[in-house]
Structures are given as structure tokens and as C-alpha cells.
Amino acid sequence: MITVLFFAKYRELLGTEQLQLEAESFSSVRDIAQHLSQQGSEWHSIFEQANTMVAVNQKMAKLDSPIQDGDELAFFPPVTGG
Amino acid sequence: MITVLFFAKYRELLGTEQLQLEAESFSSVRDIAQHLSQQGSEWHSIFEQANTMVAVNQKMAKLDSPIQDGDELAFFPPVTGG
Amino acid sequence: MFVRVQKEDFSLKLVEERFSEYTKLQGAKIGAIVTFTGLVREFQHTSEDQEEVQALILEHYPGMTESVLEQIAQTAIKKWQLNDMLIIHRVGTLFPTDNIVLVAAASAHRQDAFDACQYAMDILKTSAPFWKKEQTNKGERWVDAKSSDYNAAGQWITQDLQEN
Amino acid sequence: MFVRVQKEDFSLKLVEERFSEYTKLQGAKIGAIVTFTGLVREFQHTSEDQEEVQALILEHYPGMTESVLEQIAQTAIKKWQLNDMLIIHRVGTLFPTDNIVLVAAASAHRQDAFDACQYAMDILKTSAPFWKKEQTNKGERWVDAKSSDYNAAGQWITQDLQEN
């Protein structure tokens, strides 16, 4: 299983904090993003944004980053701490 | 009268913290420096140094700065606070 | 190195305690301490129709925030040969005048501590997974990332590339 | 603006007290506080035959020091539109780990507070009439001015000239 987390504006927009996906069908972050962007217009809007950030196992990653069973992904808007 | 102060290394070298001069003979810092540099080799050595600093009435000044009766002059080495 | 994400407030006293602890163990090696404190202002925006901030809600990615802050501190300590670095970031609901973030660096010479603090803040602003939501007199809204923050962070990367 | 030359020690608590006083009068306008603390190190020199510092005697020009520090704070407040600035410098006999100087700046945005603190330290180091005498294991000596300090101070003057 792959765990996918959403934070801040994305969490609110999707009404989703966390979801689980079967690992088999996905080999990169891009595969997950493509799958999720087909779940509705809000989902589509998030993955369309050039500045959407992604972390794999709590480290910043890219669309090309590989993923495997057990990984934790997180999608979030640009950070605004400090 | 003009009051002349010396600080730090200069005060120690000259064994002088403060002296008074009659105002009449001096119109600029340079006049005072020339007068004092004739008082002995230690005095000469101080006014020979390019980095000797001077203040007139507690404001940084230059050799050309004018002086008048009642002024307070101070000669000191480059500052090293902070 | 001391890194913490917490709801509770902090005070600069912590910096003095932490670095005097270092001195007890290592001797009087610290010549310069620079601290940065970020606070909640009433008006975060400079636009004409200023919205008065009533509260700021700080969300974060637990686990990842701590590891990003540790990474920032480790990198700064190496890059500037710091004696020590401390980073504290608050989460939860904050109000105007509240502290948000504290960064402190100790070094032998002042320029290192200044640079390290600025580096830590610039990278934190663009890499640490915190998000601010403002509650203002006109409603709620998520704070937008500022391009000036990305430019500030980018300078360090450019500098690193030039040095290598 | 708060400027003081004193024998007594100080703590960062003073910064918090001073700026929270500002906030009580002016509202939550402070978004960034930067502090710089300078301390006495055991080894001030990096040369090979390091002399261990046992004490540091700080002499000053009473009256002129205060007015130079006030001038520095006033200039910084104007130049960076600071909310407030604080400068404290100690005199007398100090020992390793002792505080020497504290500079603190409060501003809306962080870069102003960082720049103002660096400016104040750079100018203080080259313009405020303080002199350090070291008592080391090899005797006493007056500390020499560092050319790096003059270069740091010179940058601000060059910058001002370019802006005008």
C-alpha cells in the first residue's frame, strides 16, 4: 500500500487528509499524480498547478521520483512557515 | 583653554590622561598636533601615526578641523570595541 | 544542535541557557550569538485594503518538519563552522504579538552567525512544511508563498554552485 | 531607541521587555527581531602561538561613546524604518564567556532587522570610542584594530554613496 497525504489548502479543497492506494499500478510520483488528477475537477486543479510540492517518505521529491510499496507520499502547496 | 584627552595605549604611553593648553596659539587640530609632537619622542610617535584618531567636542574630527577656546580634543588609537 | 516544533511559546532565555551549556562543555569558544525571532503582526499585508489579522493557524507535516529543520541546522553548522544552532517553530493557533519562530546561531566571529541565521530563515521559509492560514476581519485565507522568499533562498543555492 | 554603556551584565530578556513595551504602545507592528551578542572568548587570536585570554579591560570615552551609539541607532532606525533599536556596551574588566555588547533591531520584515544589526555592529566596531586591553598568560596588550572591521564598515559607506 502507498499512503498519500494532503496538507493545508489542498486538504481542505479535497476534503481528504489521507488515502491509501494499491502499490502495484504505480512506479513513480507522476503515475500517482495522473491517477489522482482524474478523480474530479478539484483533484485535477491541484495537479495542474506548477508549484504543487511533493514529498516521498518525508523528503522533497519530484514527479520522476520512483515509489514503491510502503512509501508515504504527500502533496502540498508551497510552504509558508517562518 | 583647550582640554586635550588621551585614551588607551596613548594615555599609557604618554603617562598623560589630560592636559590644558592656552587657546590663543592654536586655530586647528593640526596646530595642536604639531605643538604636542615636539614634547618628546613618545609624543612624536603618536602624531606620526597615520591612523591616530581625533575628536573635537566628542565628535570625530580631522587635522584641518578648526578649534576654539573651550573645546575638548581627544587623541586616540583606532577603536576596538564590540 | 537543538530543533523543536511545539505549540508552546518560547523565550530568548532558552538561547542563553543552551549556549551557556555549550560553553560549560567546550570552553569559552563562542564570540558571537545572533538570534532571529519571527512574530505575528496585526497587518501582514501592505496592500491598500489591509486586513486585520485576528489569528494565524499554523499547520505542519509532523515528522518531516523536524527532519527538514535538523537538516537546515546541520548544513549551517558545517557551512559556517558554528559552535551550535537552535531552531524552534511553533504550530497551532497564534495571535498578533505571539512568537512564531526562533533561530539562533553561535560562532567565533560575527559574520558567520549572521549568515547562518539568515540562511536558516531563508531555507526554512521555502523548504520546511509549515502553512499559515490567516483569520482576518474579512474571513479566512491561506497565506500565499512570497516570491521574495524564493529569491532569498535561491541566492544560497546560486552561491553554493559558484563555490563548487 | 535605547542606548546604554554600563559595567553591569545584560541579558536578552531586556530585548523582549523593551520591544514588548513598544508593542503595547504601538500595536503588533513588529514581525522580526534580530539580536547580536558579542562575548569574550578564551582565545581571541587564530595565530599559532595562541595566547589564552584571562581578562579583557574595556576602556571608553565617556560621553562620546553614548552619543556615537545614539547616532548609530538613529541612523539605522531611519535607514531601515525599524520599529526600535537597542544597543548596550559593557566597560570595565570582563572575563571569558562574559557578554560585551548587545545590539537588537525590530522591524516588520526580517531583512531590515538583519541588515540594521550588521550595520550597527560594523559601524560600532570602527567608530565608537572603546578600546580593549587583553590580559593573557603572556602579559598585557592593547588589541589592534582589524582591517576586516574597517572593510566591513566601509561597505555601508560605499553603498550609501551608490544610492545617492
Cβ contact B71:B56 at 8 Å: yes
Establish if A82 belongs to a structural domain: no
pLDDT at D155: 86
Please give the Cα distance from C125 to C130 (Å, whole number).
8
pLDDT, tens digit, 9 for 90 and up, residues B23-57? 998 999 999 999 999 999 999 999 998 899 999 99
Establish if B82 belongs to a structural domain: no
> C138 pLDDT band (50/70/90 cuts)?
confident
Which CATH code of 3.90.1170.40, 3.40.50.10140, 3.30.70.1350, 3.40.50.80 fits the domain covering D2-158?
A: 3.90.1170.40
ipTM: 0.94
Cβ <8 Å between D59 and B74: no
Establish if B45 belongs to a structural domain: yes
Check CB contact of D90 with chain B, cutoff 8 Å.
no
pLDDT, tens digit, 9 for 90 and up, residues C118-133? 999 999 999 999 999 9
Total beta-carbon pairs less than 8 A apart between chain C and chain D? 103
Sheet containing strand D53-60, strands side by side: D92-94, D53-60, D130-136, D139-142
Query: Cβ contacts (< 8 Å) between C132 and chain A: which residues?
Result: 80-81
pLDDT, tens digit, 9 for 90 and up, residues C25-61? 999 999 999 999 999 999 866 555 678 899 999 999 9
pLDDT in 10s for each residue of chain A, 82 residues = 999 999 999 999 999 999 999 999 899 999 999 999 999 999 999 999 889 999 999 999 999 999 999 999 999 999 999 9
Cβ contact B47:B82 at 8 Å: no
pLDDT at D163: 72
Q: Which domain holds residue B68?
A: 2-76
Which one, of D97, D101, D94, lies nearest residue D69 by Cα? D101
Closest residue on chain D to C32 (Cα): D38
Cβ contact D113:D105 at 8 Å: yes
Establish if A59 belongs to a structural domain: yes
Q: Where are the alpha helices (DSSP H) in chain C?
A: 13-26, 64-79, 110-127, 147-163
Domain at A37, CATH number: 3.10.20.30
Q: Count of CB atoms within 10 A of residue B13's CB?
A: 15
Arithmetic mean of pLDDT, D89-93: 98
- What is the total count of domains within chain A? 1
Average pLDDT value for chain D? 94
Q: Within 13 Å of residue D18, how many CA atoms lie on the same side as its CB? A: 21
Establish if B81 belongs to a structural domain: no
Place of cell 509558508: A80
For chain C, list the contacting chains (3+ Cβ pairs, <8 Å): A, D
Arithmetic mean of pLDDT, D66-92: 98
Q: Is the pLDDT of residue B80 over 80?
A: yes
Q: Is the pLDDT of residue D49 over 70?
A: no
pLDDT at D122: 97
Chain B residues interacting with chain D (CB cutoff of 8 angstroms): 5, 7-9, 51, 55, 58-60, 74, 76-82
Place of cell 521559509: C125
Chain-centroid distance of CA C94 in Å reads 16
Which one, of D45, D147, D125, D32, lies nearest residue D84 by Cα? D32
Cβ <8 Å between C64 and A82: no
> D157 pLDDT band (50/70/90 cuts)?
confident
Residue type at B34 in one-letter notation = Q
Total beta-carbon pairs less than 8 A apart between chain A and chain C? 72
Q: Would you report the helix, strand and coil content of chain C in percent, each value rounded to 5?
A: 40, 30, 30
Arithmetic mean of pLDDT, D31-43: 96
Report pTM: 0.95
| Residue D30, min C-alpha distance to chain C (Å) | 6
pLDDT at C46: 54
Long-range contacts of C149-152 (CB under 8 A, 24+ apart): C149/A82, C149/C122, C149/C125, C150/C126, C152/C122, C152/C125, C152/C126, C152/D111
Establish if A81 belongs to a structural domain: no
Query: Cβ contacts (< 8 Å) between C119 and chain D: which residues?
Result: none
Query: Cβ contacts (< 8 Å) between A58 and chain C: which residues?
Result: 61, 63-64, 67
Establish if B60 belongs to a structural domain: yes
Q: What is the DSSP string of D102-163?
A: EEEEEESSHHHHHHHHHHHHHHHHHHS-EEEEEEETTEEEEPPPPHHHHHHHHHHHHHHHHH
